[in-house]
Chains A and B, each alone.
Chain A
């Protein structure tokens, strides 16, 4: 089993290093194939581990080597495969294998083909370290690793100004959050004396409540950054500057769920501090509806899907905050499948439309791209949570959990969000694939993606449809580790009313979206219609003016402050000191080079001068030592 663990962990790293060897050379197909194959190996190893964990109910725990030992501090490179991490490993390896194969087709004409695969596999390796580590330090390494790879992949087309800006934004915002997380980790070490999960959590019930609250808050700040929760959410939508496979893998299925994973992993901590949990749930519910509202009007299909990711992450945090950790993990898994599928479908559309992202300029693409249309529609159905697709089982479970726990406000917010989710998902479906063929006005010639890309997507489609049927076996597996709370509404009438009501509400939202956006009257918006002039539309399309607020009140003052420090502190103090020292030496040299005129008689004169100086010194010292007692007397007379 240990060998399998190492295989699952290191196969992506080998792939990444292999692709990096060809990083600077033009496209070689072999890098794409080799990295995909190694990911496949990792997937197989993870599957075997999953079967082992299910059948035996045991963990696989290895300690590869010592990392840090200093005094009482002992941190090994230890890895654990238990029910939580094996679930994450399956999600990560499965989605990334699909995305790797898909990217061979998607990045076909790109100059940075090899570089892309190197980054992508490096990301998978970091993510595996993150989920498999058995201590907080290892988790943090993986955490930073995925941040770095995310930076490299968002800014993959570095010749684009907007892409590098988005990459830096994502990186810097995550740094801010990571500071919080680091403080949380320090607090854990400070109070429990260890960073190993099981030892740290075992020591926690004995700690003071206030300490635990601080630890919980700081760890959650880290999770907020990675999972793009309000107010650190702006980077996720901008991260869509990266290539679409990256959006599918990193910014939908895996990396952004790391925050949820952290909360689930620390469930023993959060179980002790229900107030923080309630805060997490409330923030999650707020983000769910907040992001969904921005998705309603956006005119960029990738951004719409990004907001939908944000909204679904909100759902996961609601579940995790309310103590329904297994529900959160289940939704994380199901969401990864259909959201990655949705993104890859959007990638096909972009490919067909020469990277055009405005759905209003598409329309009627269904005739040319049947398979993509079916896949995206089914993924949207799963996202909307229609029976019997995956979303129904995972998302409605969160609604039920909120209802059972009697948080009716959160429940209502989530219910409304479910309707909004269905609406905006089918808004873009209707705009892209149905209605008038508006793309002809803009001279596009759409075509379906390569066959093997569609085949690569099919496992995700299958899982988006059937993932719900794993619910029972999944429940049995993870509840070995996570609290086994079943959320059943006891009154059968209430149960049916709520379930059917939700379903009908969602279906109504879907029909409304189709009706509104399939009609022939849909035109490319030009800023003149009454809706576009309304206050709410402006508020939503400008993302509640939050990016502008950050720009005006945080970025600009900071830039001003930096300018002041640069001009007045750095240049006038630090640089001036360094330059001053250099100048003194420079001037000394400049003046004393006269001595080295090369003229022998000048040199002889200098020699004589030196001799005289040394002799006089010798005489002075000689006299001084001879008459030292008298000199001391004179000096003491002077009062020294």
Chain B
């Protein structure tokens, strides 16, 4: 069976859904980062696939941007996470409620 654009898009959608459920359900901050990575990379897959499908490099360029930004985001995020862990000895989302209105 030839693997075409639709397969990539379905994969991307499945990954995106997994990521979304992860973002919504997980309480561990580290797991939340993983879920975010899955979300971003699912989008990257569709960017790359559509780019290849149209023979236009713009999409792949975008994918590179996303990878770069995701990397820097993780770097900052993990830094904050470590500081948080040092202070509170926990990275449970439910304990972070200083924004309560």
Contacts and interface: CB of A to CB of B under 8 A. Distances in A.
Contacts of A595: 101
B24 A604 contact: yes
Given A605-B24, A608-B23, A598 B93 contact: no
A601 B98 CA distance: 13
B87 interface: no
B37 to A, nearest CB: 15
Interface string A593-609: 10111111101110010
Contacts of A598: 96-101
B99 A601 contact: no
Nearest to B96: A600
Q: How large is the interface on B (under 10, 10 to 19, 20 to 34, 35 or more residues)?
A: 10 to 19
Contacts of B81: none
Contacts of B20: 608
Contact of B94 (A596, A599, A604): A599
B98 A599 contact: no
Nearest to B94: A599
Interface string B20-61: 100111110000000000000000000000000000000000
Given A601-B24, A601-B27, A596 B93 contact: no
A608 B35 CA distance: 14
A593 B99 CA distance: 12
Contacts of A603: 99
Contact of B101 (A593, A600, A601, A604): A593
Contact of B100 (A596, A601, A604, A608): A596
Given A604-B24, A608-B20, A597 B93 contact: no
A599 B101 contact: no
Interface in B43-84: none
A604 B97 CA distance: 13
Contact of B99 (A596, A605, A608): A596
B32 to A, nearest CB: 8
Contacts of A596: 99-101
A599 B100 CA distance: 7
A599 B24 CA distance: 12
Contacts of A608: 20, 23-24
A598 B94 CA distance: 9
Nearest to A609: B24
A510 to B, nearest CB: 87
B24 A597 contact: no
Contacts of B99: 596, 598, 600, 603
Nearest to A601: B93
A593 B100 CA distance: 9
B35 to A, nearest CB: 10
Nearest to A600: B93
Contacts of B100: 596-599
Interface in A591-628: 593, 595-601, 603-605, 608
A420 to B, nearest CB: 81
A605 B23 CA distance: 8
B23 A599 contact: no
A598 B101 CA distance: 7
Contacts of B98: 598
Nearest to B23: A604
A599 B23 CA distance: 13
A478 to B, nearest CB: 79
Interface in A560-615: 593, 595-601, 603-605, 608
Interface string A108-134: 000000000000000000000000000
Nearest to A594: B101
Report which residue of A595, A599, A601, A604 has the largest number of chain B beta carbons within 10 angstroms of its beta carbon. Answer: A601
Nearest to A598: B100
Interface string A285-305: 000000000000000000000
B34 to A, nearest CB: 14
A601 B25 CA distance: 7
A591 to B, nearest CB: 13
Contacts of B24: 601, 604-605, 608
A601 B101 CA distance: 15
B81 to A, nearest CB: 13
A608 B93 CA distance: 17
Contacts of B94: 599, 601
Contacts of A597: 97, 100-101
A207 B27 CA distance: 92
Contacts of B23: 604, 608
A365 B21 CA distance: 104
A217 B33 CA distance: 89
A595 B93 CA distance: 16
A336 to B, nearest CB: 72
A587 to B, nearest CB: 16
Nearest to A595: B101
A600 B81 CA distance: 14
Nearest to A612: B20
B13 to A, nearest CB: 13
B69 to A, nearest CB: 19
Nearest to A592: B101
Contacts of B97: 597-599
A610 B96 CA distance: 22
Nearest to A596: B101
Contacts of A599: 93-94, 96-97, 100
Contacts of B26: 601
A70 B72 CA distance: 69
A596 B100 CA distance: 6
A597 B98 CA distance: 9
Nearest to A603: B99
A193 to B, nearest CB: 64
10 contacts: A596-B99, A596-B101, A597-B97, A598-B99, A599-B96, A599-B97, A601-B94, A604-B23, A605-B24, A608-B23
Interface of A: 593, 595-601, 603-605, 608
Given A597-B101, A608-B23, 20 more contacts: A596-B99, A596-B100, A596-B101, A598-B97, A598-B98, A598-B101, A599-B97, A599-B100, A600-B93, A600-B99, A601-B24, A601-B25, A601-B26, A601-B27, A601-B94, A603-B99, A604-B24, A605-B24, A608-B20, A608-B24
4 nearest A-B pairs in the assembled complex, by CB-CB distance = A598-B100, A596-B101, A598-B97, A598-B99
